[in-house]
Structure 1
Amino acid sequence: MNKNLFLTLSAFLFLFPLSGKATGTYRPETSVAGFIQLPGSGRQVYDFNPGWRFFKSDISGAETVNFDDRSWEVVSTPHTVELMPAEASGCRNYQGPVWYRKHFVVPAETKGQRVSIHFEAAMGKQILYLNGKRIQEHIGGYLPFTLDLTTYGVQAGDSCLLAVFVDNSDDKSYPPGKRQYTLDFTYHGGIYRDVWMIAKSPISITDAIESQTVAGGGVFVHFDQISEKSAQVCVNTEVQNENTRSESVIVETTLTDADGKIIRRISGKLSLQSGEKKIIRQQMEVKNPKLWSPDTPYLYRVQSRLKKGNQSIDGGITRVGIRLAEFRGKDGFWLNGKPFGQLVGANRHQDFAYVGNALPNSQQWRDAKRLRDAGCTIIRTAHYPQDPSFMDACDELGLFVIVATPGWQYWNKDLQFGELVHRNTREMIRRDRNHPSVLMWEPILNETRYPLDFALKALDITKEEYPYPGRPVAAADVHSAGVKEHYDVVYGWPGDDEKEDRPEQCIFTREFGENVDDWYAHNNDNRASRSWGEHPLLVQALSLAKSYDEMYRTTGLFIGGAQWHPFDHQRGYHPDPYWG
């Protein structure tokens, strides 16, 4: 058995053992391109992970149809380009080009539908070849991209070759941009997240990212007038007609409780010219809503269907949580009309021993479960958007999330670099805006000196992409350009709330617990390897306990912080892992 596949299956079976009997084993739902599958909707989703052939290096002609790839390793995605030792920091991971090839037949039952391949992420730079032809490029390692097969003439029943060139080499032209040997994490290579084939009607709900519509695309659920007595659920659905003729469809939106019981159903008609896309806005009132919180993470389900007559031609399910989050300055953070107290949690990098970034969805869920069981109520993603299944888990388990745009201690003065950061920010908001777990956006580059106009545009983007009440707020370091004067929440420290020049906004510590005296050594009491024995681990635990205690020292303006870092992770610049 392929080693990567074995590790993936082992991680899955550890948490979710298979059984021929009805044991009641819990299996988390997996969303695909923002939707959980809705039976009978007309949209078909296929697991495109198995059956890739893989070659670690560059090789001439790998994109051609007649290239002989029979000697290549057979792998499944999520895939890492090499299995690494448990302690493999210091740029020991492979950086450079790799190839993936997959021969496949488009299912016959997709006849009459538009078919695309959806990649949740691949590390670095990607070039896609379809049947030997160079089709498209994508840069960046943390956000999804889609190949529309139908646009290039592929039809149901066709035999195809998809070749993907992936390169995780250092590249200063796009975020994060920093060379790995000076980086505090690693660019583990490969197609390291899930890949899906999606078939849907020519008249369909658009993809939130591919649509490139500001505050639009796909299904966008937001809320208004939230109280314990009632709440307004607002659903914006963007539909596109890719037929050659005008079409009319019914957009049916159904709100159900967690068990599937229908609460409200509403329908509206859309007429679209060929090639046209429109947004329909629908609103429903919920009486006595069950409000989402870390202690009661209740999820409603929005079922979206496009219908022609009685036939459903496209649709999906969006899980949502109704909640009202307020940052009231000196009065602190309030949730659902009541003071919440401190938001205390941790940062999280996405890599894992041996497999790099290629964690299965079960391991993503287990990481979130461990963090919540440890008492965390908030997670800051370090320093990039993370796997969709991790976001799904945070919704379900009651973890708030700060979603960060990719970047760390690096600025490129080339204007194109800043624009690519802004593009990443728009795409991460479009991907994650429906998650009740998302509390803040971090739309700037972490620990980076950036210009004022960049910071102000980054803030404007968060408001443009989520222009409704109760939006997730924007957060950044209080001393960075434009932040103290304009941002919604500022990053600072316990005691900043008692200074004469204290900010008016709520203050949150993005990283606490680090007592570093030498960045190139482990001379601090919050890091300890398990191999060092019991005493260093006790010192580490007591150090972190003291740091956690400081998070509760507040006048109200200071609202908590996220520990750096609960899990071991590999680093580029240092020969040892971070021992969390």
Structure 2
Amino acid sequence: MFTPSRRTVLATTAGLLALPCGAARAATPYEDLAPRQRIQFDAGWRFALGHAADVDRDFGWGRDQKTFAKQGQTSIAEPAAADFDDRTWTMVDLPHDWAIDLPFARNDHFIPPSNPEDGDPGAGHGYKAIGRRFPEHSIGWYRKVFTLDKADDDKRLTIEFDGVFRDATVIFNGYILTRHDSGYTPFSVDLSDYIAPDGGPNVLVVRADATMGEGWFYEGAGIYRHVWLVKTARTHIPQWGVWARGETSGRVTVETRIANDSDDAQTLTLVSQIFDGAGKAVAETRAPVTMAPRSETTAIQPAAISGPRLWSLDDPHLYAVRTEVRSGDTLIDVTTTRFGLRDIRFDAKEGFFLNGKNIKIRGTNNHQDHAGVGIAIPDTLHAWRVKQLKDMGANAWRCSHNPPSPAVLDACDRLGVLVIDETRAMTATPDGIAALETMIRRDRNHPAVILWSIGNEETALQGTQRGLKIARDMRRAVKALDPTRPVTAAMNHYQGYGITPALDVMGFNYHERDIEPFRKLYPDMPIIGSETASAVSTRGEYVRDEKKGYVRAYDLDAPSYALTAEKWWTLYNSKPYLAGGLVWTGFDYRGEPTPFNRWPEISSHFGILDTCGFPKDIYWYYQSWWQDRPVLHLLPHWNWEGQEGHDIAVWAYSNLDAVELFVNGKSQGRKTMPRDSHLEWTVSYAPGEISAYAYRNGKVVMKAQRRTAGPVAKIALAAETLAAGEDGTALVLVRAEALDTSGIPVPKADTLVHFGVDGPADLIGVGNGNPTSLESDHAPHRRLFNGLAQAILRVRNGQGRRIMVTAQADRLPMTTMSMALKD
């Protein structure tokens, strides 16, 4: 928040110009131009582990207890010195998660409890050797040396960190410029007064301390999101300084903060030009701005778009406002902000409305974690993950339990996916409110965001008057920055009590039996299922295996507090007053391996897709009922050696009228598909083939089959190229699959596959979705899990246009796949 003495609000209609859509005005590029430069600062860092308990192994940090005694003393830590030799440190490009490379550590002190759902605390974080018990693994040092142009001396220079886990100390040329404890909120550092003179080398050092965690799930460690070097004039638009509030009528209010960090008064012109998704200018407004030295101001400019195109799930159209600060004819600063026009409304009787249309929210909760890369997920992989769920029919994403990477919100904006944005901690301390305000300032331009969540399962607060006081303070902070969106909290007890009066929408985490009693207490408060399901399954497993720690992939298993997919969705879909629900979770993630919270379980079973993004069978249940395209999916596999003559449960997921099952050509009967359900048959196993035919209006529309596979004969490779995101990083996802001599997938194959890459790409990670795998995510090899593995390649720019990938396994022919990169 800014003090009133330095904050002036200007409301003006001066220079208002409305341009009809498609007007014959020359299209103006709205990319940011000089003098502002926002330079990606991800490449060329050096990294080394420090030590949380040994000052000598922590590069002298804290030696002699004089760390904060004097500023500018490079002796505060050895890496801060310009002549420090970091050649033994590891070269890394960001994003980077050092925890992914740490060993797994069994908790030998764990005594199994009587309740199997109360498991080993070490399992919660995926058994990685990090935290207070592992001081040698819990500190990470990052170092980057760079030079600046002489022309930068008079500019405002900032480093923006999108996310560092955790407790980051930033040292620049020997000066400790900031300490930032949260691992989930972005922060920036002003370097302007501390740059090396005469174009000399600048030393930027970040010490990240992941000794203490913020969650109960795998959180990783390190600079795991992007870093940016931003160069602006002394008079500039601060970070997230533009807020474009649009209405479905086409009216737009552009609120712009301007900071004058110079010693001179400024007479300026603020120009806000709005462009549609095709890059055509559709509105423009100008306003005079007068600023005192060393001051800040906020200008409010109304604009109007003729014939507006609304942001919706099926047509997620985005506008952009290009904001210029001019002094006479001189361009002082310019920045571009995307936004959308849409209207949201929650109703206690009818649920959720987008642009006046009643929509059932069908979503998933997700942590930031993926096989091979941990929490250091490249932008284009974030977008890919959102798209997998969108293709399933999901229309919402809850950021559990922290503000997400900006790339997640960008993807949801582009793809048409609603977002519940959640702050990490439910607290009204100055730091807690600052974190909440940072989330809102950063994310309030995203049309996808429909709810601000101020907490998740805060069991010590949610049912208390103390909690209500805190929630009301948080609500005031939210409404001061964004009165357009409702406030919620995800509660797993005490709905209707405690913090309830501070909320606009009640978030139910499970506890479906309490919904009706809550409605009697608060008949006018809308309800959303902030967490639902928590059903568990293991991809490709159809018999529960207590020893191996695998759960059935049939939709049969859920913890005592939860419901299966079919049960929760049938309930929510049958009640119009429920706005919808979000499944726990879209993807598996490291940690929380319910129901086997013990060694060596290192990842969850909750996901609809596994940690690689390979779909489990339940994916097709949701796809059947969450979107309109015809679906038919048959399970299980048909390799049951030794079970000949024994009964096997065969399930079909479909949204068609009826399904008929055949076993080796013999019909097992046609059955009508119940709404929001599935079909099943019990058949005697015989090797060969099971096939299903799905009917609509009496005619066969789709066919699915499962065939008995022989031994593994080859490893098939398939690639999906993910175009570069705004970070410039393109990826190739390589799927390795075991096939027999007839090309039939071998469903239980666990073959060890060695990957090779030739050409302009690097292997940055591997995975297989196995919740008990203790293999390295950064090795050039991986065992298949139930027939599949994944390799992730990062494309190097400007170094050729063809990549060759090989897969080798013992006693199998080498598979080679060549792919040409597209411009």
Please indicate the TM-score interval, normalised by the length of the shorter structure. Answer: 0.7 to 0.9
* Equivalent residue, structure 2, for 1:552: 573
The reply on whether 1:374 has 2:410 as its aligned counterpart is no
* Equivalent residue, structure 2, for 1:29: none
Gaps of at least 5 residues in structure 1 are: 1-35, 209-217, 515-525
* Equivalent residue, structure 1, for 2:82: 65
**1: CA distance, partners of 2:344 / 2:434:** 26
Q: TM-score, normalised by structure 2?
A: 0.58
Alignment of 1:21-100 (within 5 A): 38-57=31-50, 58-60=58-60, 61-84=78-101, 90-95=126-131, 96-100=138-142
The reply on whether 1:233 has 2:252 as its aligned counterpart is yes
Structure 1 counterpart SS, 2:171? strand
Residues 469-508 of structure 1: per-residue CA shift (max 9 Å, x gap): x334334437255433331100236565544625221111
* Equivalent residue, structure 2, for 1:347: 365
The reply on whether 1:273 has 2:284 as its aligned counterpart is no
Q: TM-score, normalised by structure 1?
A: 0.81
CA shift at 1:93, angstroms? 4.5
Residues 534-571 of structure 1: per-residue CA shift (max 9 Å, x gap): 892233699424432322121x3211110001211011
CA shift at 1:292, angstroms? 1.0
Out of 284, 301, 316, the residue aligned to residue 335 of structure 2 is: 316
**1: CA distance, partners of 2:259 / 2:378:** 33
Range with bigger deviation, 136-145 or 53-62: 53-62
Structure 2 counterpart SS, 1:277? strand
CA distance 1:509–1:150, change in 2 (3 Å): same
**2: CA distance, partners of 1:366 / 1:510:** 23
**1: CA distance, partners of 2:536 / 2:229:** 43
Partners of 2:103 and 2:128 within 8 A in 1? no
Write 1 or 2 for the structure with the bigger share of strand: 2
CA shift at 1:201, angstroms? 1.1
CA shift at 1:82, angstroms? 4.2
Q: Which has the larger radius of gyration?
A: 2
CA distance 1:287–1:93, change in 2 (3 Å): farther
* Equivalent residue, structure 2, for 1:569: 589
Structure 1 counterpart SS, 2:264? coil
CA shift at 1:449, angstroms? 2.2
Alignment of 1:455-474 (within 5 A): 455-467=471-483, 470-474=484-488
**1: CA distance, partners of 2:388 / 2:127:** 28
The reply on whether 1:424 has 2:435 as its aligned counterpart is yes
* Equivalent residue, structure 1, for 2:464: none
Alignment of 1:281-430 (within 5 A): 281-338=300-357, 340-407=358-425, 418-430=429-441
Out of 238, 245, 248, the residue aligned to residue 222 of structure 1 is: 245
| Aligned residues with identical type, % of pairs | 30
Gaps of at least 5 residues in structure 2 are: 1-28, 51-57, 61-77, 105-122, 132-137, 462-466, 545-551, 558-562, 608-823
Residues 337-394 of structure 1: per-residue CA shift (max 9 Å, x gap): 23x2311110010011232210111111111111211111111111000100111111
Number of residues paired by the alignment? 500
The reply on whether 1:190 has 2:210 as its aligned counterpart is no
Partners of 1:49 and 1:195 within 8 A in 2? yes
* Equivalent residue, structure 1, for 2:10: none
* Equivalent residue, structure 1, for 2:282: 263
Structure 2 counterpart SS, 1:459? helix
Structure 2 counterpart SS, 1:551? helix
Partners of 1:101 and 1:163 within 8 A in 2? yes
Tell me the amino acid that sits aligned with residue 80 of structure 1: D
Partners of 2:94 and 2:226 within 8 A in 1? yes
Partners of 1:494 and 1:558 within 8 A in 2? no
**2: CA distance, partners of 1:300 / 1:417:** 35
Range with bigger deviation, 446-455 or 133-142: 446-455
CA distance 1:568–1:476, change in 2 (3 Å): closer
* Equivalent residue, structure 2, for 1:527: 536
* Equivalent residue, structure 1, for 2:231: 199
Partners of 2:346 and 2:579 within 8 A in 1? no
Out of 434, 442, 446, the residue aligned to residue 435 of structure 1 is: 446
Tell me the amino acid that sits aligned with residue 130 of structure 2: Y
Structure 2 counterpart SS, 1:443? strand
Structure 2 counterpart SS, 1:429? helix
Tell me the amino acid that sits aligned with residue 446 of structure 2: H
Structure 1 counterpart SS, 2:437? helix
Partners of 2:32 and 2:336 within 8 A in 1? no
Tell me the amino acid that sits aligned with residue 70 of structure 1: R
CA distance 1:109–1:93, change in 2 (3 Å): farther
**2: CA distance, partners of 1:553 / 1:384:** 31
Tell me the amino acid that sits aligned with residue 423 of structure 1: A
Tell me the amino acid that sits aligned with residue 73 of structure 1: T
Structure 2 counterpart SS, 1:330? coil
Tell me the amino acid that sits aligned with residue 452 of structure 2: W
CA distance 1:156–1:149, change in 2 (3 Å): farther
Tell me the amino acid that sits aligned with residue 59 of structure 1: F
Partners of 1:475 and 1:488 within 8 A in 2? no
**2: CA distance, partners of 1:285 / 1:41:** 28
Structure 1 counterpart SS, 2:555? helix
**2: CA distance, partners of 1:314 / 1:421:** 31
Range with bigger deviation, 565-574 or 489-498: 489-498
Tell me the amino acid that sits aligned with residue 457 of structure 2: N
Alignment of 1:167-186 (within 5 A): 167-170=209-212, 176=214, 183=216, 185-186=217-218
Structure 1 counterpart SS, 2:604? coil
* Equivalent residue, structure 2, for 1:537: 553
Alignment of 1:470-485 (within 5 A): 470-477=484-491, 479=494, 481-485=497-501
**2: CA distance, partners of 1:366 / 1:307:** 39
CA shift at 1:54, angstroms? 0.3
CA distance 1:383–1:368, change in 2 (3 Å): same
CA distance 1:37–1:157, change in 2 (3 Å): farther
Range with bigger deviation, 540-549 or 497-506: 540-549
* Equivalent residue, structure 2, for 1:578: 604
**2: CA distance, partners of 1:447 / 1:484:** 13
RMSD of aligned Cα (Å)? 2.6
